[in-house]
Amino acid sequence: MLFLAVSLGFLVENQREHYIERQRAKVLAYSLVEDLKKDTSMLNSTIKRCDEKVKSLKELVRLLREPYTPGNDTLIYRHSVLIQFATRFLRAGGTYTQIVNSGSLRYFKQSLINLMIQYDIDVRMVESRRDADLNIIFSESLNFVNKYLNQEVYDEILENKPITKSPYFRFDSQETVNELINYAIVSRRITERMKLECETALSSGIKLITALTKKYGDGGS
């Protein structure tokens, strides 16, 4: 009888622990889905901004390769403004970090863990590309713009104000123009790669949302 009582107590306690783990997994899954919804929304926005930046940089290169005309001054400024800014992406990764750091991955089936890991890898690629863009901006292209172009004009463009400051160019040679063309091309290439990586991360995020929602429901959202 004592053996049966101990065994029954063990089974009850085991069931209770499994129940607690299932409930904990459900709470974490709901929170992770909310983070993923924020991420996928930002990824969609980032993809659109990448398209806009690539289009603008291509037009900048076209303008710089043409013979200079005063009428192109403001156009060159408008299309070169994005050389100074990395395409923004900030991950809402709090829940995933919590799951990993607390050892809560064990609450989930391996198929879901695989999807989480793949999404994490894909998002890290996006962040790495963004950081590469920032590195070039702060180490090279921003110095070039500060030296040869008028930041007051960029302020007016960014604030959607009429251009009242002088859109001057302190280009001393064709080599200087070529340098700006190169910055534009490098920035365009990074942005094109970032768009592809955003699309990959978006696909991974949607797959993970679908799998979590199928397993745990939508949390009443």
- State which residues of the chain have pLDDT below 50: 2-13, 19, 220-221
Q: Which two tokens stand for residue 190?
A: 């990074």
Residue 146 lies in a domain: yes
pLDDT at 18: 53
pLDDT at 87: 87
Residue 43 lies in a domain: yes
pLDDT at 10: 47
Residue 58 lies in a domain: yes
Residue 107 lies in a domain: yes
Residue 23 belongs to domain spanning: 2-216
Residue 61 lies in a domain: yes
Q: What total number of domains does the chain contain?
A: 1
Reported as half-sphere exposure (CB side, CA atoms, 13 A), residue 188 has a value of 17
pLDDT at 3: 47
35, 94 Cβ separation under 8 angstroms: yes
Tell me how far apart the alpha carbons of residues 147 and 74 are, in angstroms, rounded to a whole number.
18
- For tokens 């291509």, the residue is 58
Residue 221 lies in a domain: no
pLDDT at 6: 47
